[in-house]
A and B are shown apart, each in its own frame.
Chain A
Amino acid sequence: MAAHKNQVLLTIDGLDVVVPAGTTIFDAARMHGIDIPVLCHQQDEVPVGACRMCVVDVKERVYAAACIRKVEPNHRKANAEDPDLVVETKNDGVRAARKTLLELLMADHPAPCIRERRNGDCQLEKLAREYGATQTPYSRRQTGRELDNSSHIILVDHAACILCDRCIRACADLRHNYVIARRGKGYNAEIAFDLGKPMGSSSCVSCGECMFSCPTGALTNRVSLTSAFESGSVCTTDELLAIPIFQHVSSSFLNFNQGSIVKRRVRQGEFFYREGEGSWSAFYILEGQVNVFVSTQPAHVGTEDHTSLFSRSMRSKLVPSAEESQGTRQLGPNTLFGEISCLNSYPHSATAQAATDCVVLEMRHNVLDALRRNKTFREKFDNDYLTRTFESHLRQSPVFSELQPDFIKSLLPKVRLERYAPGEVIFKQGDLADSFYLVRRGFVKVVESHPSGDIVLAYLPMGSHFGVTSLLGEGRRLATCSALDNVDLVRIAEEDFEEMLEVSPEVGRRISEIRDERQRDNQQRFAQAGDAPLNEFLRQGIMEAKSLLVLDLEKCTRCDQCVKACADAHDGVTRLVRDGLRLEHFLVATSCRHCLDPLCMVCPVGAIQRQPSLDILIDNSCIGCGECAKNCPYGNINMHEFEVVYNEGWSTSAMASTHTKKAIVSKATNCNLCAELKEPSCVYACPHDAAHRVSGKEFNAMLVK
């Protein structure tokens, strides 16, 4: 096997593998199905090489930690065909080193720890059993370490902590909360919250990320969230851990999120979801077969001239494509479906129906997020996307609807799937334009910088594309694009994009039209920069609102009946503030707008959900982490404090303590449009016909009047 430029040839346990230079030994082994044990590293975190459990023999003076050792081309090798690096992961020396490390760690570990007693999946104890290191020859720690039960959600057992730092990186790098750090030195080192406070009194928001990252029983859940599904039976953690897809997920996560996964039996012929519906769940087939198909013929929106005696106008109409509807795809056991809509909170693009009697797991997006942290799962997930969804995704855009299926298939191996964290810059204004992007998930913010300040040009949702104007123009990026939330992109290189234009001149024509239209829009936007109301209208995302609370200030007598009615309808806590953006004689009150592109739906436990009516509701499983409130750009989600009673012990009934404790917890609340009533209380209670619930477009019409 020969390696190309920028690639490295490795031999791992006798298997020749080629990987890009800079790949870690751990990842190279993982990509080729070779398992290297590790405690301090998980795939979505930056490796630090703290536990040294992943040591491998690289035929050098000392063993190397596979998680941090990157492979580089070996320029001193005698023969070009020779491997750049030879790695042995399981020889006697390596096993002996790991066994010693495990014995040392076990000397400090209260085996069996809480997690081991609950679900038998303490990663340290599991490895110790595998390496025969359960009995340690070293003396055990004499000074006890504390049990911190101050938080009502997470139990902290410092004695079980192995200082792998996974929780610290999860808190800082994944959630950006920066609550956990190390305190003390050497033998006295331990993890600390806000540098030494009990967890319950610290600034911890209880998002649970540290608990899901912990490999032992040092951080475990005290509560399990109740089921958010109307039907289906809740699965036990042991049941879930036995299913291949969940084998890399922390048992604490599964314990904590019990309510987010249910098992359902579906009879032959029943529908899981229909095209255009929003059920916002993903399904995993345990038994049976499921048919997934597109029910409607592909079509795009066209216009027709409508002329009558005295008037002439244009009307929109659907123009069916000459192409036939895509065929039915049958999915079998161990397959995930419905995941794209679940992650994006967009209606389903196909219909799923049970072909036989089925048993499926229905899950929420927070479970999918946890699964996607595993790189192996993510690769499979991305591959499924490319083979199953990419084509229809590309065709959803009227620009690409005419592309030939053969060309799209030839494009598949060339496209790159990229992932960006919230706030991460995709490219900067002035950068060289070398590719074209399709938004697969999330929102992209497009900002143009001017000496007088930055102007937001657009927020691009799923299905949008960007990078065209600069590719066809001067070859430099005209604006800065960054990820607004977790963004997945499909990147098509410049040469493939040019080939696309050659193959399909129609695509080129449409892209040119869009480029011209965007340039016109941008010019118009600059011209409007001085027009404060309209500029505010666009900047405040009012067009994206599904239900704005608008008060006509020429009728409103400021009597606050709307606020009083809202508070009365919600246990005395109002969900609206009669203040906010003023446009002409209207006030857009501070109350949830139920945006069409909700930026708040980043809940780690999936408590914030979109209803089939597209309303956004927060249910009782909210853990009060405040992520949704932080993400709402309009300040329309509030955190309210409630008193709860919880057990001082942990949640497993056999170990449950009889002592209960009261605590104040925060819960996120938003306007639920008084879902249980016919009309929102604020509107119903207004004595002067001043309060109205309208969509962004309706509001625009009101302003134009």
Chain B
Amino acid sequence: MLFATLLSLRKKYTRWRIGRTQTWMRGHIWLGLLSYPLILFHAGMSFGHGLTFALMLIFSLVTLTGIAGTLLQHYLPSLMTERIERETIYYQIDRILGQLVDEADSLLMPFFRKDAEYGVMVPAATRTRTKTTANVLTNENANAGKLLEEAYENNVKPYLKQRGAYRHPLHDANRARTFFTSVRQVTPQAVHPALAALESVCAEKRELDRQSLLHRILYSWLLIHVPLAYGLILLGAIHAVMSLRYA
């Protein structure tokens, strides 16, 4: 058990040349697993009472979370590799989200410049074939610019800014597709390439959120495993002292 606990120290001091970390990891897993039946034998196949019960309970939880962690770390990397094409470094996700917001701004900003007199600066759309006066055309385009701006500011931008917006409609690929289709219907053709790029930005954001989630799952078990392991060592030490003193 002590050896198993020393793995964290081994990982902290990487400069120590006291065996490859991989060897320590294997020792940690196999000795940890082996110690469970040994301690059960030591306890006479019983959980006991009081301190020993607490000790056995914590030990069982540590072993179970350890097994769960091993399984997660065995299967999740493959899943992550398969599902997330544009994976990045976990700690860089916030920075990349910032870049995505900037990219989205630069994509759409030309279409809703506040100082633009004519709204979306595009040639006359085909639907205005029968209404050829300049006023009608510019009014329609200005209206389209407003709609686009609203859609971006109210839906897309908040989604891009919030890390892990799992409940946002744009987090679902199908709903995102529907949303962008509806925006395309109210905007002129000239905006569509930018909308396609924006859709791709949202897809990248979805992948980053998925990576974020998987990464957290990959390491969430440590939140239980590590404190319990230290508790186990502490209780184990108390158990040893008590046993020697009162045996």
Contact = CB atoms under 8 A, between A and B. Distances in A.
Interface in A540-571: 553-558, 560-561, 564-565, 568-569
B14 A685 contact: yes
A684 B218 contact: no
A13 to B, nearest CB: 67
A557 B73 contact: yes
A553 B21 contact: no
B89 interface: yes
B77 A677 contact: no
Given A553-B81, A687-B11, A688-B73, A558 B218 contact: yes
Contacts of A568: 13-15
A246 B87 CA distance: 55
Interface string B52-89: 00000000000000000000010011101100000111
Interface in B1-55: 11, 13-15, 17, 20-22, 24-25
B108 to A, nearest CB: 28
Interface in A632-684: 677-678, 681, 684
Contacts of A579: 88-89
A672 to B, nearest CB: 15
A564 B87 CA distance: 20
A560 B22 CA distance: 14
Contact of A689 (B22, B87, B89): B22
B93 to A, nearest CB: 12
A681 B80 contact: no
B90 A558 contact: yes
A554 B76 CA distance: 8
B215 interface: yes
Interface in B209-241: 215, 218
Interface in A559-592: 560-561, 564-565, 568-569, 577-579, 582, 585
A161 interface: no
B218 A565 contact: no
Nearest to B28: A687
Contact of A561 (B21, B73, B89): B21
A571 to B, nearest CB: 11
B184 to A, nearest CB: 28
B18 to A, nearest CB: 11
A462 B11 CA distance: 45
Contacts of A565: 14-15
A585 B73 CA distance: 16
B21 A685 contact: yes
Given A558-B90, A681-B14, A687 B77 contact: no
Contact of A557 (B17, B20, B24, B218): B218
Nearest to A585: B81
Interface in A412-438: none
A687 B20 CA distance: 8
B112 to A, nearest CB: 34
A66 B204 CA distance: 64
For B15, B24, B218, which residue has the most chain A Cβ atoms within 10 angstroms? Answer: B15
Contact of A686 (B15, B17, B21, B76): B21
B119 to A, nearest CB: 36
B73 A684 contact: no
A561 B88 contact: no
A64 to B, nearest CB: 57
A684 B77 contact: no
Contacts, number: 59
A560 B219 CA distance: 13
Chain B CB within 10 Å, residue with most, of A555, A561, A677, A684: A684
Contacts of A582: 87
A686 B22 contact: yes
B14 A554 contact: no
B15 A561 contact: no
B14 A578 contact: no
Nearest to B23: A687
Given A568-B14, A568-B15, A677-B17, A554 B77 contact: yes
A565 B89 CA distance: 16
A564 B21 CA distance: 13
Contacts of B73: 557, 688
Interface in B76-114: 76-78, 80-81, 87-90
A685 B22 CA distance: 7
B21 A557 contact: no
Given A557-B218, A561-B11, A579-B88, A684 B80 contact: no
Contacts of A687: 11, 21-22, 24-25
A553 B80 contact: yes
A578 B91 CA distance: 11
Nearest to A569: B15
A465 B14 CA distance: 48
A560 B88 CA distance: 12
Contacts of A684: 14, 17, 20-21
Contacts of A555: 77
Contacts of A689: 22
A686 B26 CA distance: 12
A554 B21 contact: no
B77 A558 contact: yes
A554 B11 contact: no
A568 B24 CA distance: 19
B21 A558 contact: no
B81 A688 contact: no
A328 to B, nearest CB: 48
B14 A556 contact: no
Contacts of B25: 687-688
A129 B22 CA distance: 73
22 contacts: A553-B81, A554-B78, A554-B81, A556-B77, A557-B73, A557-B77, A557-B218, A558-B90, A558-B218, A561-B21, A564-B14, A568-B14, A569-B15, A579-B89, A585-B81, A677-B17, A684-B21, A685-B11, A686-B21, A686-B22, A687-B24, A688-B25
Interface of A: 553-558, 560-561, 564-565, 568-569, 577-579, 582, 585, 677-678, 681, 684-689
**Which 4 pairs of residues, A with B, have the shortest CB-CB distance?**
A565-B14, A687-B25, A553-B81, A687-B21
Given A557-B76, A684-B17, 15 more contacts: A556-B77, A558-B77, A560-B89, A561-B11, A561-B14, A564-B14, A568-B13, A681-B14, A684-B20, A684-B21, A685-B11, A687-B11, A687-B22, A687-B24, A689-B22
